[in-house]
Amino acid sequence: MKLAQPTTAAALSERLGARLVGDGELAVTGLNEIHHAEAGDLCFVDHPRYYAPTLASAASVILIDREQDCPPGKALLVHPEPFALYNRLVWEARPPVPYQAQEPTATVGEGTVIAPGVVLGRNVSIGRDCRLEPNCVIGDGCVLGDRVTVSAGCVVGGEAFYFKRTAEGLIPWRSGGSVWLQDDVFLGPCCTIARGVSSVTVIGRGSKLDAQVQIGHDCKVGNHVQMAAQVGVAGNSNVGDWSVLQGQAGVAQNVTLGERTVIMAQSGVGRDLEGGKSWFGSPVQEARKAFRDLVKLRRLGE
């Protein structure tokens, strides 16, 4: 997420009570997790396993729990609780604000129909000729392109299902990202599209989602993708253009599906898959092999 008011590493060090190592004049223009960090971003790390990839990431400033050698062109902010400080910064950048019956910061394009019971958050942008059916929610900062249909009961831009495990329990991360539904997207009744933790969850142009589909935080769903009822895609996964996910298929986090992938009904995907193929089972195999294996199993009793 981008900060409305950029700051510097030195200013943050003083404000957060963290020890500065490296270039204090570095500008901090955004907050991000390691998967999506860009130059100018601040991210955090609090486990030795992730020190090396975080220090090697594009992030300019890193909140860290132990001092390490600072890479050239970066700054470290050393503090025993980097997650708490990072979460605090996100809460400050996106504080909770009560919904209003008529949100003054929302913009709605010509020809768009908004049914009774629809709730729009702050700084929502909705394009032309969209249809928002009763009792759907469009959260803060979400963007809808032209000719988007959001059916009854959908939630677009809900908080990510993302928690920090601590001795005291599960602490929720404040989600700083948003959602972008591109032109001609269709969401069936009761779909839920989580906002990104720090980036944008994207549903690509022309994609169609059936009822009760769940898309996790920071996912990138390509163009003209079809998902049947009760499909679930976990956070930070990518679905290639023209792919088809049949009913109740599930995709684990951090998975990439190539273009024109077909996931058959009730299959479970836990790894990256090559595009242009059909997959079946849990865990998935190429459909032809999976069906041959099923035939062999049935013959074992004979």
Active site residues: 217
Q: In what order do the strands lie in the sheet with 27-31?
A: 2-8, 27-31, 41-45, 61-64, 75-78, 19-22
Distance separating alpha carbons of residues 212 and 207, to the nearest angstrom? 15
Distance separating alpha carbons of residues 52 and 286, to the nearest angstrom? 35
**Is residue 270 within 8 Å of 282, Cβ to Cβ?**
no
Length of the chain: 302
Distance separating alpha carbons of residues 205 and 221, to the nearest angstrom? 9
Distance separating alpha carbons of residues 50 and 65, to the nearest angstrom? 12
Residues 287, 233, 30: CA angle, nearest 5 degrees:
140
